[in-house]
Amino acid sequence: MKKMLSVLLAAMLIVTAFGALAEAPTSFTEAPYITNLGTYGDVTERLPVASDVMVEDADYLEIGVYGGELKTSASTSNWTAGKIIEEGLFRFKIDGTVEPNVAKSYEVSDDYTTYTIHLREGMKWSDGQPFTAEDCVWFYNAICLNKVDSKGVRACHKDANGNPAVVEKVDDYTFTVTFGTPKYDFVEAVAVDLKWHWAPKHIFEKMVNHILAGEDAEALAEAKAICGVEFADVGAAGKEMLYYFWNYPGIPTLNPFVMSTEAGKNDIKGDYYEFVRNPYYFKVDAQGQQLPYVDKITYTAIQNVDQSLMLLLDGSVDWQTVAMGSLSTIMSDANVPITINEWPGGEWGSVTTQMHWNLSIADEKLNALFNNIAFREAMSICVDRTEFAALFSDGWLEGGQAAPSEGALGYSEEWAKKWTEYDVAKAKELLESCGLVMGADGYYDFADGTDFTLNIVSVADSGAADTYALLKVYYDAAGIKTTFRDYDRSNIDVMTQSNEIECILYPVTGIGDISIILKPNSMVPGTATNVVWYGNMTKETATGDLLELINLKEKLDVTGDPAERTAIAEQMLALHEKNMWTIAYVEAAPAYHAVNGRVHNFPAQGVWSDIYRDLGFAHSQCWFIPVDQQ
């Protein structure tokens, strides 16, 4: 598993090379479901022009058959259905590079200030209307610049000075994005940050114009006419319909599946809903069959994730990302064949065992202690990782540290093993070097005699209480007095925002991601508001190596040369390795995707990261179910 990232990289290079040699299909076929409806006409007319049709021909893909439905469970989350069907302007390949997706191609000026994006000629929205550069330009100028979708101008559209880009139409299938200063990572940033760069102008123009003119009642009436929902105010209408657009019926998209318009099947908050095939979807398989293969994805509401596991066991749910602890249940109790696909993620060590100290905590004594590297080392080496990992993971995982996985940028064996040697005596020496003194009760106190207690918090029902029970034995043996309390998830978030948390086990936002360049939020102070280890630290309050880390991030933002960018990223990671601002006790677990054996084309290899939209590499449009199992 550890070497998977490197293997994937090599495999994908080979796949890409062979893929380039394959001949693109020139004639196209459609699903019998569409033919039988008899209302959509010739498939060739619905696809982009033949040379602009996108072919899904990755090496692992089998040629599929049409029909059937994919069944899964639903929560009321906005992203449940979105992530698995999302189509971006660009998309990540499994090796971490970016390729055009909805865009056909792009060019960038020599000074990295102007990007010219080419779209696919003849491409259509899911309602059959032409998709053109006008939809992309209008989206940015009318919606993003005016913050109609509540998000406004994304980071990918801002130059080094924070000024928004200028987006202009060249012709029906070309538009440009121009920055005031060089923007080296626009393509990657679009893929991470925004994904889409369009809205159906023919649907939304009237509504958005009403919103911009302050005509709220007219805007809300228009919103209701489009998707049938009565929103409380225009802010909600804009956010829901233009940002979470895939969740609402009647809004055309470019995705392989769109929300059903049938009553009883079209409410994301309801007990049941369906995403049905988009007859105008722009991708085909290697034989020219228009994708997707299955007719629909159906979602049934559940109230607890364990219910989804039960439904997986009897075949009522086709796929689910499951916890490590559920694997043995699946293996022993499933009534249908289920395949487990392990996808490595980007986290540094198992998040469940990550310990974050708030380096910007207001309490002076705690602040000094947490910022003392000797304290962090003591907390790391006072735990017997071999024993702990065996107990914690039932023997599935080994002891580890908060460090990048093998194959990822910044990995070094030294870092992965740093401070992992169990040594209680040394831990005590280190604690004493921090100024702590052993009290009469067998626990360390501050030098002034006041009690030192490490108050650890975590999220209720996360399993952290059990993890803490194991860790407490080691902490007690080292003379470190601890308390533990778990809170409801919303309380933890409020406490994080208000910088009240001293120390957290199993943080909501763990440190580490697949790339410090693409998503530094969990690794660089000041880039997010929900990371405990740096709390409310900013450039103004950071000192030493933390300040250096922030400075390097700023340097990265204005550096174009890829080799130089990698070098800066390596420097940033080296600072992490040197300081170990957070620790973990167990190696990172992969994401386990349990998939019903009837579903074909689920990739056995992938990478689990929000940068890649979690299941983004799964490409649900390519999944199919053999006819006899539909």
Name the site residues for another protein (rule: CB under 8 A): 71, 76-79, 83, 150-151, 229-233, 235-236, 240, 264-265, 269, 271-272, 274, 298, 300-304, 307, 310-311, 313-314, 316, 335, 488-495, 497, 508-509, 521, 528-530, 610, 613-614
- Residue 14 or 460: the one with the smaller Cβ distance to another protein is 460
**Spatial separation of the C-alpha atoms in residues 133 and 109, rounded to whole Å:** 19
- Residue 5 or 194: the one with the smaller Cβ distance to another protein is 194
CA atoms within 13 A on the CB side of 356: 31
**Spatial separation of the C-alpha atoms in residues 254 and 125, rounded to whole Å:** 6
- Residue 298 or 380: the one with the smaller Cβ distance to another protein is 298
The CA-CA-CA angle for residues 60, 603, 343, to 5°, reads 135
Pick from 368, 396, 317: nearest CA to 590? 396
Provide, rounded to whole angstroms, the least separation between the CB of residue 77 and another protein: 7
- Residue 246 or 388: the one with the smaller Cβ distance to another protein is 246
Element (H, E) at 325: none
Contacts of 616 (CB under 8 A, 6+ apart): 83, 86, 91, 92
C-alpha distances (whole Å) from 352 to each of 221, 401, 507 are 47, 12, 8
Provide, rounded to whole angstroms, the least separation between the CB of residue 328 and another protein: 16
Provide, rounded to whole angstroms, the least separation between the CB of residue 125 and another protein: 24
**Spatial separation of the C-alpha atoms in residues 273 and 315, rounded to whole Å:** 18
Provide, rounded to whole angstroms, the least separation between the CB of residue 153 and another protein: 11
Provide, rounded to whole angstroms, the least separation between the CB of residue 311 and another protein: 6
Provide, rounded to whole angstroms, the least separation between the CB of residue 310 and another protein: 5
The alpha carbon of 498 is separated from its chain's Cα centroid by a whole number of angstroms, namely: 25
Q: Structure tokens of 292?
A: 């997707």
User: Quick check: 71 and 295 in contact, CB under 8 A?
Assistant: no
- Residue 401 or 462: the one with the smaller Cβ distance to another protein is 462
- Residue 521 or 579: the one with the smaller Cβ distance to another protein is 521
Provide, rounded to whole angstroms, the least separation between the CB of residue 478 and another protein: 32
Element (H, E) at 596: strand 591-596
Provide, rounded to whole angstroms, the least separation between the CB of residue 509 and another protein: 7
The position carrying tokens 């590499």 is: 617
Provide, rounded to whole angstroms, the least separation between the CB of residue 431 and another protein: 33
User: Quick check: 178 and 141 in contact, CB under 8 A?
Assistant: no
| End-to-end CA, the chain | 33
Provide, rounded to whole angstroms, the least separation between the CB of residue 596 and another protein: 14
Element (H, E) at 322: strand 319-322
Provide, rounded to whole angstroms, the least separation between the CB of residue 442 and another protein: 34
- Provide DSSP, 199-256: --HHHHHHHHHHHHTT-HHHHHHHHHHHHS---SSHHHHHIIIIISGGGSTT---SSS
Phi, psi of 168 (to 5 degrees): -135, 150
**Spatial separation of the C-alpha atoms in residues 391 and 88, rounded to whole Å:** 42
- Residue 316 or 630: the one with the smaller Cβ distance to another protein is 316
Provide, rounded to whole angstroms, the least separation between the CB of residue 181 and another protein: 21
- Residue 295 or 577: the one with the smaller Cβ distance to another protein is 295
- Residue 160 or 336: the one with the smaller Cβ distance to another protein is 336
Query: What SS3 state is found at 357?
Result: strand
- Residue 194 or 434: the one with the smaller Cβ distance to another protein is 194
- Residue 352 or 509: the one with the smaller Cβ distance to another protein is 509
Q: At what angle do helices 562-579 and 544-557 cross, to 10 degrees?
A: 160
Provide, rounded to whole angstroms, the least separation between the CB of residue 340 and another protein: 20
- Residue 298 or 360: the one with the smaller Cβ distance to another protein is 298
Pick from 439, 441, 291, 453: nearest CA to 366? 453
- Residue 108 or 492: the one with the smaller Cβ distance to another protein is 492
Pick from 105, 132, 72, 80: nearest CA to 254? 132
DSSP symbol at 482: E
Q: Structure tokens of 103?
A: 């865009």
